[in-house]
């Protein structure tokens, strides 16, 4: 996960507005990172998922021990292609075929759901996303694994305009090409959606804590279509749906590949706010958004605190659990 800034137009508008067979797709999964000391073994991690009834996981690179531990469990998996491999996979179909062979075909007992070709890719490297996706998808189809969908995981700031949600539009042309590929293959767009960063950057000038954490008290009307928003998360997701429509790809669904709230390390970061947000998220996504009803597949970031992560101090404190597997706070799946 990387820091992201909510489109500035939102704050002003709020002020004015006051192979394994696939398991069934459920609403909530949890991202599993590895940048922490004394983290549980992969087999312990998988058993914790099972014991808590968490049936979906995201990992950020192919790691043989976690893949072995997942084998036969029917836990649905998002697995990332490391950003550093994008250029190679984009330029070489044989490299993509080798990646699929070594990491997917070699693990037939794992319930792969999506392959995220890059996570929050920015700058000049975005030119590698689409050709890498195409080559990985072709390799999967050639291997008889076309049921595994290929996408990429994007930062929220791929959206240039986000409020009201109905004006959502992609910032850069490459995202339109990505969206068209997703429409052609029936894959969702994976999006990292963090109301926390919008709240943190705004410093409560316009975005109130209750609106950011699924609590009652704020209602914002989209003047473009009359839809009413009672939480920032819905407004962010629906602006992505609006951007997909403007790209000519209304059939593409959204999977929230990361969302969460830190328990320490920055403005608004506390155990209480993290518990309120994450429990609210779990309860909320069962019903979708004002624009799209039905369960919204969502992955909480993250399973454990990771004290070796770089970046802002908050990056170390998103865990639902401590490294000794004790809950950071009460949460019910």
Q: Which is it for strands 159-161 and 169-170: parallel, antiparallel or unpaired?
A: antiparallel
| Catalytic residue, candidates 230, 245, 258, 315 | 258
What's the pLDDT band for 275 if we cut at 50, 70, 90? very high
Tokens 């599993």 belong to which residue? 32
Confidence tier at 204 by pLDDT (50, 70, 90): confident
Residue 299 to residue 106: CA distance in whole angstroms: 25
CB 147 within 8 A of CB 183: no
Is 60 part of a structural domain of the chain?
Answer: yes
Place 26 in a pLDDT band, splitting at 50, 70 and 90: low
Residue 219 CB-density burial (10 A; 0-12 exposed, 13-18 middle, 19+ buried): exposed
Domain annotation covers residue 332: no
Instruction: State yes or no: pLDDT of 303 exceeds 50.
Output: yes
3: in domain: no
Q: Is 258 a residue of the active site?
A: yes
Rounded mean pLDDT, 235-263: 99
Residue 286 scores a pLDDT above 50: yes
- Summarised one tens digit per residue, pLDDT across range 154-177 is 999 999 989 999 999 999 999 999
Residues 6 or more apart whose CB falls under 8 angstroms from that of 177 comprise 130
In-domain check, residue 308: yes
Of the residues 44, 63, 120, 306, which is catalytic? 120
CATH code of residue 87? 3.20.20.80
Q: Tally the domains of the chain.
A: 1
Asked whether residue 7 carries a pLDDT value surpassing 50, the answer given is no
Please check whether residue 331 lies inside any domain of the structure: no
Domain assignment present for 97: yes
pLDDT band at 122 (very low <50, low <70, confident <90, very high): very high
Average pLDDT score over residue span 245-265? 98
* Residue 27 covered by a domain: yes
Q: What is the mean pLDDT of residues 238-244?
A: 99
Q: Is the pLDDT of residue 8 over 70?
A: no
Asked whether residue 306 is domain-assigned, the answer is yes
Is 293's pLDDT higher than 60? yes
**Choice among 10-14, 46-50, 123-127, 128-132 with the minimum mean pLDDT:** 10-14
Question: Containing domain of residue 221, as a range?
Answer: 8-18+22-316
306 classed as catalytic: no
Instruction: Tell me how far CA of residue 4 lies from CA of 56, 73, 158, 196, 229, in angstroms.
Output: 24, 34, 10, 10, 22
- Work out the mean pLDDT of the chain and round it to a whole number: 93
Query: What torsion, rounded to 10 degrees, do the Cα atoms 241, 204, 4, 310 define?
Result: -140
What whole-number distance in Å separates Cα of residue 28 and Cα of residue 219?
Answer: 25
């Amino acid at each position: 996960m990387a820091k992201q800034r909510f489109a500035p137009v939102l704050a002003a508008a709020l002020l004015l507005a006051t192979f394994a067979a696939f398991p069934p797709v459920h609403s909530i999964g949890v991202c599993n990172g590895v940048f922490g000391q004394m983290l549980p073994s992969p087999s312990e991690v998988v058993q914790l998922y099972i014991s808590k009834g968490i049936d979906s996981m995201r990992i950020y690179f192919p790691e043989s021990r976690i893949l072995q531990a997942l084998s036969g469990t029917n836990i649905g998996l998002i697995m990332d292609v490391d950003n550093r491999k994008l250029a190679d996979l984009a330029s070489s179909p044989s490299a993509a075929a080798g990646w699929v062979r070594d990491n997917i075909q070699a693990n037939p007992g794992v319930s792969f759901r999506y392959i995220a070709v890059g996570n929050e890719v920015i700058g000049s490297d975005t030119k590698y996303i689409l050709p890498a996706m195409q080559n990985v998808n072709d390799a999967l189809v050639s291997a008889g694994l076309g049921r595994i969908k290929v996408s990429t995981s994007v930062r929220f700031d791929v959206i240039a305009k986000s409020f009201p949600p109905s004006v959502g539009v992609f910032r850069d042309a490459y995202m339109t090409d990505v969206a068209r590929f997703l429409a052609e293959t029936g894959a969702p767009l994976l999006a990292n959606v963090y109301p926390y960063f919008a709240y943190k950057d705004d410093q409560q000038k316009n975005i109130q804590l209750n609106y950011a954490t699924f609590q009652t008290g704020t209602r914002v009307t989209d003047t473009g279509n009359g839809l009413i928003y009672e939480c920032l998360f819905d407004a962010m997701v629906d602006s992505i749906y609006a951007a997909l429509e403007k790209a000519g790809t209304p059939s593409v669904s959204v999977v929230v590949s990361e969302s969460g709230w830190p328990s320490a390390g920055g403005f608004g970061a506390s155990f209480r706010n993290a518990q309120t947000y994450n429990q609210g998220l779990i309860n909320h996504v069962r019903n979708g958004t004002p624009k799209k009803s039905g369960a919204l597949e969502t992955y909480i970031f993250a399973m454990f605190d990771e004290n070796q992560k770089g970046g802002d101090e908050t990056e170390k404190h998103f865990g639902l659990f401590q490294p000794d597997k004790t809950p950071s706070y009460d949460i019910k799946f």
